[in-house]
Chain A
Amino acid sequence: MKKFLRNILWLLLPLALLAWPADRWLSSRLKHSFGMAQGEFSVWEDIYSAKMQNEVAVYGSSRAWCHYDPEILKDSLNAETYNLGMDGYGFYMQHMRHLEYFRYNKHPKYIILNLDLFTFEMPKGLYNATQFIPYMSHSENMQSYMWPLQGFTHFDYYVPLLRYYGRKSECISLISDAVQGKQSLPMRHKGYHAHASEWNEDFKNAAKLMEKYSIVIDSPVVQLMDRFLTDCAREKIQVIMVYSPENIAIRGFLRNKQQLVDLYREIAQRHHLVFLDYSDDPLCYDRSNFYNASHLNARGSRLFSQKLGHYLKTNGFIPKNMAVTP
């Protein structure tokens, strides 16, 4: 028995001892792999560097990070802008990012909250989970928000290297970049990424598979947004709710969009906020502005950012407390 335990120990001990430095090394490389995980690492690194000084912050999902050009908004508003759009997540995880952003950085004066079809949908599992790996063991907010979602086990937060289990493409890419001395260039600028692509068949394929989509409204997420808006009001942060353009092709695909829009209007009225609905804007009728039904391409996002910036500027940035269709 002693021999057995000794041999097992000899086999596993070196691996266990190597696990912690290997985890540290992989995590430090991963944090700076700006091309990975849809470029989310550059945003997380900006948040955790605690140097963000922007006055305007854009919140939202992928529709935020590829619709709002911070440089155009900065020019229009004369205020430093940062796009905190988070790929693939509704408001639940956006709120987690908001908490992290607020914890380490100067708070903005204005938040542009981009809304979409999935804003109130509670995620079942973690999407693009790689982005959380380097930070998840020491961020309490990440842990508490990710805990209920499928993707990581409880051990992944505490046991070194375990969270890299099965992430072969990431590990191999990190090792090969290190061997070749490659430094990855940021994919996003101030959180924004312009998609230079033309209209593709994503939506057509999705529509073929799903026929019609019913928008999910999870009441805990609605309550979370209410809490967030109340907190912002307390801090005197002006929130502007925006439904950015989506291509008209999506309309026939949705069952209950009006219910969602009505809810957005109701929330805006309840918190005395402006709700700018661009879902019927002329931009929506031109496919050359989109790369798929719900995402603007570089051209579309430039036009939209100019339009929004102009509107906010000409309306004194803090418009009347009313829901409007610009």
Chain B
Amino acid sequence: MLFNSFAFAIFLPIVFILYWFVFNKKLRTQNILLLVASYFFYACWDWRFLFLLLFSTALDYFSGLKIEKAARPATRKFWLWLSIGINLGFLGIFKYYNFFAENMSALLSQFGLKSHPALIQVILPVGISFYTFHGLSYIIDIYQRRIDAEKSFVDYSVFVSFFPLLVAGPIERATHLLPQIKRKRSFDYATAVDGCRQILWGLFKKVVIADNCAELANEMFNYPGAHNGSALWLGALFFTFQIYGDFSGYSDIALGTAKLFGIDLLRNFAYPYFSRDIAEFWRRWHISLSSWFRDYVYIPLGGSKVPAWKRIRNTFIIFLLSGFWHGAQWTFIAWGAINAIYFLPLLLTKRNRSNIEIVAADKALPSLRELWSIGITFILTMIAWVFFRAESIGSALKYLKGMFSSTVFQKPDIDGMGRAWIALGLIAIMFLIEWQGRRDPFPLRNIRQRSYAFQYAVYILFILAIFLWAGTPQQFIYFQF
């Protein structure tokens, strides 16, 4: 069930009404409803993988209790590693087994050894990377005595499976979400309206921006040889906005939906394309994943409070892991490595935290210097996205070669340039709205200060835009991760 489907438009109001009108007497029944709704939502993708989700949930739930109860450190460690091992084992089998098997076979063939590894022909369970990371953070937090183990299986299951975040995040922390699940929730008008606004904005980004950009980006990336350099730059630009619109749009819909149930999820995006350097970009892009790697990998490795060579090592580890988390392909690893290379100079010169606040926080426009920094960061990011989007490293290099060829000065040879102009216009509109609302968690939030008539007109306009300007429906990119 896609967030931008009519099925979801029916599902959501039904759950909302049951939640606030039928099961509102007791917190426990509300949580049971959320769990049933979440499993139904998940089963709409593929009901068979529901068992995997249940198993993973039960494993972490019982491991958490065992860790908490164990008196001996060795026993605690045993349950921690058992849970981590099984969770990562599932992830490894479903997501990475074929990658390792094929690459090992290719490596052996370099030494003249022939091997024909058995490959697994199975689809990747949707959301496995997200719910596995939920479970891991929970177990590690218990082990490090940051939190107590959750006693209620239902509440813990809702934490793992809450439908707005189940298939594509944000990756929640038990410290943030579990207390909300355990607390009596009451309906708050302002929060619910805010949630609706955020859903509307998320739908606009996904359906209007991402899906329209996808049509054009696909043309360039599928046949890079058939286009000149300027068209390939446009293709990279369209993909840059496709992935932003797609993923941040999904996150906005997830956050807005959660607000309708009185639950506040972690913010996942904070206007990343207004970043002035790569370090700031990574503090604003997929925040829940970046902070997960920071807290559970980077800091345990020593973080930045270690000698320079270790800082370099740690940086590469988290960026490569981040790339690999996205998928078992060399292109994702290359994307991670490129971002690490972008990031290192800032880290080594201790300028990685020089841009914390949003750009031009107290001004209407950025300074020329800020504009320049934003532009350079954006272009670097766009070049890195080429690796993320390409089918292989070879295709990415071919694409980049085309982008930097002499044909870059020619008129873009895109079939039906009108579509490209329209997409650019839509991107410009989104950019302006985001710039205007950059001080708020999402740009439509600041509309609440305006008159009702203005708000009403804006909502209608957005609904019509979503209806009329929707591109060819595309699967959310992050569902594959």
Contact = CB atoms under 8 A, between A and B. Distances in A.
A91 B189 CA distance: 56
Contacts of B211: 166
A171 B468 CA distance: 8
Interface in B1-56: 5-7, 20
Dominant secondary structure of chain A at its interface with chain B = helix
B471 interface: yes
A168 B5 contact: no
Contact of B193 (A4, A159, A166, A168): A4
Contacts of B467: 161, 164-166
A166 B459 contact: no
B342 to A, nearest CB: 35
B74 to A, nearest CB: 53
Contacts of B470: 165-166, 168
Interface in B183-221: 187, 189, 192-193, 196, 207, 211
A4 B5 contact: no
A11 B7 contact: no
A222 to B, nearest CB: 28
Contact of A4 (B192, B460, B472): B192
Interface in A84-113: none
B5 A3 contact: no
Contact of B6 (A1, A7, A153): A153
Interface residues on B, range: 20 to 34
B189 A168 contact: no
A15 B468 CA distance: 13
Nearest to B193: A4
Given A165-B467, A166-B470, A1 B187 contact: yes
A167 to B, nearest CB: 8
Nearest to B452: A7
B471 A15 contact: no
A162 interface: yes
A172 B192 CA distance: 34
Contacts of A161: 467
B189 A15 contact: no
A159 B211 CA distance: 23
A1 B473 CA distance: 33
A11 B455 CA distance: 10
Interface in A162-193: 162, 164-166, 168, 171-172
Interface residues of A, number: 18
A8 interface: yes
Nearest to A159: B6
B459 A11 contact: yes
A8 B189 CA distance: 12
A15 B463 contact: yes
Given A166-B472, A166-B473, A155 B460 contact: no
Nearest to B226: A205
Interface string A108-139: 00000000000000000000000000000000
A295 B120 CA distance: 43
A15 B460 contact: yes
Interface string A56-86: 0000000000000000000000000000000
A8 B468 contact: no
B344 to A, nearest CB: 41
A4 B192 CA distance: 8
B456 interface: yes
A218 to B, nearest CB: 22
B196 A8 contact: yes
Nearest to B223: A209
A116 B160 CA distance: 53
B196 A153 contact: no
A162 B460 contact: no
Contacts of A155: 6-7
B29 to A, nearest CB: 18
B468 A168 contact: yes
B7 A168 contact: no
A4, A8, A162 — most chain B CB neighbours (10 Å): A4
B100 to A, nearest CB: 30
Contact of A162 (B6, B189, B192, B473): B6
Contact of B189 (A3, A11, A153, A172): A3
Contact of A11 (B20, B207, B456, B471): B456
B213 to A, nearest CB: 14
A4 B187 contact: yes
Nearest to A155: B6
Contacts of B5: 153
Contacts of B473: 166
Contacts of B459: 11
Interface in B442-481: 456, 459-460, 463, 467-473
Nearest to B207: A166
A7 B5 CA distance: 23
Contacts of B193: 4, 7
Interface string B57-85: 00000000000000000000000000000
A15 B466 CA distance: 13
A159 B459 CA distance: 21
A282 B203 CA distance: 57
Contacts of A3: 189
Interface string B229-256: 0000000000000000000000000000
A1, A8, A15 — most chain B CB neighbours (10 Å): A1
Nearest to B465: A168
A153 B7 contact: yes
A159 B472 CA distance: 19
Contacts of A166: 207, 211, 467, 469-473
A251 B11 CA distance: 52
A184 B6 CA distance: 33
Nearest to B21: A1
Contacts of A1: 20, 187, 189
A171 B470 CA distance: 12
Nearest to B186: A1
Contacts of A164: 467
Contacts of A15: 460, 463
10 contacts: A11-B459, A153-B6, A153-B7, A159-B6, A162-B6, A166-B471, A168-B468, A168-B469, A168-B470, A171-B468
Interface of B: 5-7, 20, 187, 189, 192-193, 196, 207, 211, 456, 459-460, 463, 467-473
Given A1-B20, A8-B196, 10 more contacts: A3-B189, A4-B192, A7-B193, A11-B460, A153-B7, A155-B7, A159-B6, A165-B467, A165-B470, A166-B469
Interface pairs A-B: 10 shortest CB-CB: A166-B470, A155-B6, A1-B187, A168-B468, A4-B192, A4-B189, A168-B469, A3-B189, A11-B459, A171-B468
